[in-house]
């Protein structure tokens, strides 16, 4: 498989695509599939039409992302991964326009169960904070084990008129409340999950929660009050300060770090996160320096390389909050991945990452992680 990644930062989406088409035509006589990461500043309405008009194909998928990876570079514009198979590899596209439809969960789980021996890359929209719960229900409906063939992320966007713009683009269709799955056939692959944050302090038990909102902990203590006291130490508090100390939820059965949750909003009565919170869960606050996060990235990249020694390409789903904590070392994360794996890298800043848990029992929605996928055609 030959994969190359290109980018354009032109102000017009039309001219950005034209520039990308010229770059691609100089390197490829033909190709099998295109994956676009598109900054939300380009809007959403005409994007599928323009992609199909300029590239004359419907073998593509696209999504919103505030930043994307073109190898070791972080790009604010359009990034496209061009895939050309050389052997028996191929990609199948499965997509859902509305996750609220009654049969969607069954339809999606049937699809994944039918193709349990293939690699699936799933990319969804923000879906009014419902996609995490959908992933959890989907995990319960998978009838195979180990679950280590599914990876992805939630597309990222800007807030406009109280609405977060995170759309997906496939088959002349704009998807607002759904997702798409790219299914790779005849490939070898490996998936890694880089955490890096270490838990500190006392353990809290969640007493009252609803969806992504946490109300009280332990003996009915208002968790919002605890967080407000913490932020009170800052002269001009910003919610992003809390991205340095995501809550670290412990696994219900084994006690290991199950997932992180990123602070989204602190209200009077509750604290909202970028992922679901459950009553009865236990958690600690956590912390990591940029160097500790990068050390974890390096460890995960080396683990993957030990399985897929010479990948054709890699994909990175890295949380936008993790990138904030990395500060001026953001570029070092894709640099580590490209240098260790020595292959093209595509990926983006997410609003949540999707991948297997530590023991491959479940599919999880993560926050503040960096998920890495390496792929090689058989």
- The pLDDT, as a whole number, for residue 252 is 67
The confidence band for 254, taking pLDDT boundaries of 50, 70 and 90, is: low
The Cα-based distances of 133 to 130, 183, 255, 366 in angstroms read 5, 22, 22, 12
Which of the four pLDDT bands, split at 50, 70 and 90, describes residue 255? very low
Place of tokens 């969804």: 124
Question: What's the average model confidence in pLDDT over 85-110?
Answer: 96
Nearest of 341, 240, 337, 257 to residue 294 by alpha carbon: 337
CB 190 within 8 A of CB 307: yes
Phi, psi of 225 (to 5 degrees): -65, -40
pLDDT digits over 40-73, tens only?
999 999 999 999 999 999 999 999 999 999 999 9
Structure tokens at 190: 């490996």
Cis peptide before 146 (omega within 30 of 0): yes
Measured between alpha carbons, how far is residue 371 from residues 36, 126, 178, 186, 281 in Å? 18, 18, 21, 22, 24
Distance CA 360, CA 364 (A): 10
pLDDT in tens, 192-248: 999 999 988 899 999 999 999 999 999 889 999 999 988 877 778 889 999 999 999
Query: Is 60 exceeded by the pLDDT of residue 105?
Result: yes
Helix (H, G, I), strand (E, B) or coil at 321: helix
Confidence of residue 335 (pLDDT cuts 50, 70, 90): very high
Give the integer Cα–Cα distance in Å for 270 and 45. 35
CB 276 within 8 A of CB 212: yes
Percent of the chain with pLDDT over 90: 85
Higher pLDDT, 167 or 236: 167
Question: Region 283-294: what's the mean pLDDT?
Answer: 94
pLDDT, tens only, 172-205:
999 999 999 999 999 999 999 999 999 888 999 9
SS3 category, 76: coil
For residue range 352-376, list pLDDT tens digits in order: 999 998 888 889 999 999 999 999 9
Q: Are 103 and 29 in contact (CB under 8 A)?
A: no
CA dihedral (167, 192, 93, 154) in degrees, to 10, reads -10
Tokens (6 digits) for 346: 């595509």
Q: What is the mean pLDDT of the chain?
A: 94
- Average pLDDT of the segment spanning 304-327: 96
Q: Distance between CA atoms of 375 and 239, rounded to whole angstroms?
A: 37
What is the spatial distance between Cα 34 and Cα 13, in angstroms, rounded to a whole number?
16
Question: Is this model's pTM higher than 0.85 or not?
Answer: yes
Tens of pLDDT, residues 137-165: 999 999 999 999 999 999 999 887 777 77
Instruction: For residue 302, give Cα distances in angstroms to 31, 53, 192, 298, 337.
Output: 30, 41, 10, 6, 9
The pLDDT of 260-279, averaged and rounded, is 93
Quick one: DSSP state of residue 191?
E
DSSP states along 102-140: TTHHHHHHHHHHHTTTSEEEEEE--GGGTHHHHHHHHHH
**What does each C-alpha distance from 328 to 108, 288, 325 come to in angstroms?**
40, 15, 9
């Amino acid at each position: 498989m030959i994969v190359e990644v290109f980018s354009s930062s032109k102000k017009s989406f039309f001219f950005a695509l034209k520039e990308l088409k010229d770059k691609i035509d100089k390197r490829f006589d033909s190709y099998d599939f295109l994956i676009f990461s598109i900054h939300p500043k380009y809007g959403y309405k005409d994007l599928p039409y323009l992609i199909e008009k300029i590239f004359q194909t419907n073998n593509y998928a696209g999504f919103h992302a505030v930043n994307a990876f073109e190898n070791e570079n972080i790009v604010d514009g359009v990034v496209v991964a061009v895939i050309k198979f050389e052997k028996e590899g191929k990609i199948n596209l499965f997509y859902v326009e509305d996750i609220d439809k009654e049969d969607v969960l069954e339809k999606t789980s049937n699809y994944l169960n039918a193709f349990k021996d293939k690699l699936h890359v799933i990319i969804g929209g923000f879906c009014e904070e419902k996609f995490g719960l959908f992933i959890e229900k989907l995990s319960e409906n998978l009838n195979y084990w180990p679950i280590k063939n599914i990876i992805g992320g939630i597309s990222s966007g800007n807030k406009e008129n109280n609405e977060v713009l995170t759309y997906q683009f496939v088959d002349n269709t704009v998807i607002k409340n759904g997702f798409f799955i790219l299914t790779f056939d005849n490939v070898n692959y490996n998936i890694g999950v880089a955490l890096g944050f270490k838990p500190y302090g006392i353990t809290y038990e969640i007493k009252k929660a609803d969806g992504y909102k946490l109300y009280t902990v332990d003996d009915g203590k208002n968790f919002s009050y605890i967080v407000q006291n913490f932020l009170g130490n800052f002269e001009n508090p910003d919610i992003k300060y809390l991205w340095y100390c995501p809550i670290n939820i412990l696994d219900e059965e084994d006690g290991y770090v199950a997932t992180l949750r990123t602070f989204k909003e602190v209200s009077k009565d509750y604290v909202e996160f970028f992922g679901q919170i459950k009553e009865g869960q236990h958690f600690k606050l956590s912390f990591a320096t940029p160097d500790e996060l990068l050390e974890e990235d390096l460890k995960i990249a080396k683990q993957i390389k030990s399985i897929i020694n010479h990948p054709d390409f890699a994909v990175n789903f890295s949380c936008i909050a993790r990138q904030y904590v990395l500060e001026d070392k953001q570029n070092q994360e894709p640099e580590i991945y490209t240098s260790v794996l020595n292959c093209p890298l595509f990926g983006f800043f997410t609003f949540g990452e999707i991948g297997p848990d530590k023991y491959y029992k479940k599919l999880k929605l993560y926050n503040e992680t960096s998920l890495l996928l390496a792929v090689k055609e058989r």
